[in-house]
Structure 1
Amino acid sequence: MNTLHSLIYFFFVSLQEGNPEVTDAQILHYGVIGGDLKAGFSFNSAGTWKMFCREECEGENILINTTDVRAQTGRYSIEYEIKSVYVLSVSISKLTESDSGQYSCGLAGSSSSASLTPFVIVVAEALLDGNDDQLKHFDKETGSSLTVGCSFKQPGDRGFFCRGECGGDNTLVQTDDVKAQSCRYNIGYASHTDPGVLYVSITQLTKSDSGRYRCYLEGSSSSSFREFEVTVTDVIPSLTGQNQYGLYVGLTLTVTIILVSVSVLIFYKKRSSKRKGETTGARMTLSISHSNEHFSRWRLFTVK
């Protein structure tokens, strides 16, 4: 699996909606969520300072800026080696989907100037290698993107990304080069890695994108494919800011009303019970009074 998580060099245009545009002058490096990525870059001249940045090397975008031959900051690290050329390797551990995007690294004679090499990292949600018998399923929300890597043991000459079985209108995009794009569908292939990886992606997902997909690698001697399923559902609005405050106030008022209602009910119930007891006591007193009066009259009659 370490080989599968290593860098893959090929070019790609507009990988996914929301990411900075990728030009043909930039190199793509591929990784999988939870895996590690290491990319090496060669330079013709040495540099005292080594830099690793997200997008442009400014402010908080500077991940590492050091004169050491090795350095690490959180999940990011660099290593500098002198071989036949000067090599700067950059690494990111425990990749997340948010690690996808533009990066740059380089060597410099001072901390304020550097010869930078731009590159792009794409993090796939899964790598399908055919070892799992169960069909991989992805649950996505409308408007999001999905990138899947498909690993093959044998190299191929042409890659296909299809909805269902490949052929006719089911073929979304294909390439016999290193990359291709058709509307919201992208495909890219790196044959020089061992094994080769074909990656496919869909941007701006809609509910109608739900279904089964296939990445297919056609070779001169053999062909192979990997399949996966996607279910796209509407985004559930999250409660933030004013909505959270409104919900809190509403719940507080509801609880208060319930507590007051229960208190009033208990009060009237006790009061009703008290009145009932007082009425019963009064009747008993009246009955005893009548009995005493009757007894007194009976005694008076007897004496006479």
Structure 2
Amino acid sequence: MNVLQTLIFSVLTALLDAQTVYYTTALEGGDTKIHCLTSEANERKFFCREDCKQNDTLVETLGVSAQSDRYSIEWERRGQSSVGDVFIKISQLKKSDSGQYTCGVGPLTSATYDYNEIVVVDAELSGGKRETPTISAKSGGDVRISCPFSSSFHQLRISAFLCRVETLQCLFVPTKVTGNTRQHDRYTIRYVQYTSGSGFVYVSISQLKKSDSGRYRCGLERQGLSDIWSVFDVDVSDEPTVETQTSAPENSKPGTTPSKPAAPPKTTLRSTTDTLLYVGLTLVVLLGLFLLVLLIFYKRKSSKPKERQENLQQAPEETSKRPKGIQTATKPNKTLNAQSKVHLNN
């Protein structure tokens, strides 16, 4: 059983080693061109996001060129031979384009693959200490910087770092494994080393605040040697508010376009909706009061005939009671007459 596990581990390790990943660093908003593989002119060429296993093909062709949205394939012949180089081009890069890609040549059952990772950054530093670029960003956004380093003394590297100069707070990541990444709070640092020994330290700050403005340093810590680093400044500004745009003067300069023209109509729409709500509620209340008045008026009007009918029914009863009262009143008279007769006889 141990022999089988060792064999499986060896096979997996060999497969992972065979899948060499080529890194490409590009600026946001720009274009990038990646050398993929070599092929014949009429061979199938394709480019996918991730591993081409979930119908995520971005562009493909059997010819020498093809384009789909921002992605294109170009085949360039090598001299007079029938073989040429396959290039992939992505235009108008976004930060969301960062990630793993696969370039392939040939049919799906027996295709040859090339693995790439694209990292889209806001700024790519040159590595010189004298140059201090400033990266401007909006509050709530993020910045991503690439700090290059050469292949010299790569055996003596200990860790890559990102430091805030004003506070002397640093984030470190070991350099033993390429692609090693560490994240702390809103700060991320990643170490990538090419087979030649050169590479990049990628640093990023997310959910930017106004207090993040300042000077930063990214580089490598080396054993027995001085550190190497690059310096950059971050300038975080607040987003313009809707009220500021709404209060802009009407006589603005020709050719000036507001940054968010759709904001004022949204505010107007919200105010109109509230007004219609209040008017509707008022009409409902008035309609209810009107119906209540009609109901009271109807009840009062319908009760008057009943009162007249009751008065007519009570009138005969009072008339019939009057003779009975008279008859009872005459009884004492008869008694008195009888008594008077007896008294006279005596």
Return the TM-score normalized by structure 1: 0.54
User: What one-letter code is carried by the residue in structure 2 that aligns with 1:227?
Assistant: V
Q: Aligned-pair distance for 1:25?
A: 9.5
What residue in structure 1 maps to residue 147 of structure 2? 150
| Alpha-carbon separation, structure 1, partners of 2:53 and 2:236 | 37
What residue in structure 2 maps to residue 171 of structure 1? 170
User: What one-letter code is carried by the residue in structure 1 that aligns with 2:183?
Assistant: S
| Alpha-carbon separation, structure 2, partners of 1:166 and 1:218 | 19
What residue in structure 2 maps to residue 218 of structure 1? 221
| Alpha-carbon separation, structure 1, partners of 2:144 and 2:59 | 28
Describe how 1:92-241 pairs up with structure 2 within 5 A: 92-93=90-91, 95-109=93-107, 119-130=116-127, 133-153=130-150, 155=152, 156=154, 157-165=157-165, 170-177=169-176, 178=178, 179-183=180-184, 184-192=187-195, 196-219=199-222, 223-236=227-240
Structure 1 pair 249/166, CA: closer, same or farther in 2 (3 Å)? closer
Question: Which ranges in structure 2 are unaligned for 5 or more consecutive residues?
Answer: 1-18, 243-259, 272-346
CA contact (8 A) 1:161 1:174 kept: yes
Structure 1 pair 52/203, CA: closer, same or farther in 2 (3 Å)? same
User: What one-letter code is carried by the residue in structure 2 that aligns with 1:218?
Assistant: E
Q: Which has the higher contact order (CA 8 A, sep 6+)?
A: 1
Q: Aligned-pair distance for 1:152?
A: 3.1
Q: Aligned-pair distance for 1:76?
A: 3.4
The range that moved more, 115-124 or 221-230, is 115-124
Q: Aligned-pair distance for 1:212?
A: 1.5
User: What one-letter code is carried by the residue in structure 1 that aligns with 2:147?
Assistant: C
Identity across aligned pairs (percent)? 31
| Alpha-carbon separation, structure 2, partners of 1:59 and 1:154 | 38
The range that moved more, 206-215 or 32-41, is 32-41
CA contact (8 A) 1:52 1:105 kept: yes
What residue in structure 2 maps to residue 68 of structure 1? 63
| Alpha-carbon separation, structure 2, partners of 1:242 and 1:136 | 33
Q: Aligned-pair distance for 1:74?
A: 6.6
Structure 1 pair 240/28, CA: closer, same or farther in 2 (3 Å)? farther
CA contact (8 A) 2:192 2:201 kept: yes
CA contact (8 A) 1:50 1:67 kept: yes
| Alpha-carbon separation, structure 2, partners of 1:143 and 1:245 | 22
| Alpha-carbon separation, structure 1, partners of 2:240 and 2:196 | 40
CA contact (8 A) 1:159 1:215 kept: no
> Alignment partner of 1:244: what SS?
helix
From the two aligned structures, give the one with the greater strand fraction. 1
Asked if 1:244 corresponds to 2:265, the answer is yes
Q: Aligned-pair distance for 1:34?
A: 5.8
1:240-292 CA-to-partner distances (Å, cap 9, x unmatched) read: 76852544999xxxxxxxxxxxxxxxxxxxxxxxxxxxxxxxxxxxxxxxxxx
Structure 1 pair 61/144, CA: closer, same or farther in 2 (3 Å)? farther
| Alpha-carbon separation, structure 1, partners of 2:117 and 2:241 | 31
CA contact (8 A) 2:42 2:64 kept: no
Question: Which ranges in structure 1 are unaligned for 5 or more consecutive residues?
Answer: 1-23, 251-304
| Alpha-carbon separation, structure 1, partners of 2:144 and 2:197 | 20
Structure 1 pair 32/245, CA: closer, same or farther in 2 (3 Å)? closer
Structure 1 pair 224/76, CA: closer, same or farther in 2 (3 Å)? same
Return the TM-score normalized by structure 2: 0.49
Structure 1 pair 221/68, CA: closer, same or farther in 2 (3 Å)? farther
> How many residues matched?
225
Tell me the C-alpha RMSD between the 2 structures.
4.7
Structure having the higher Rg:
2
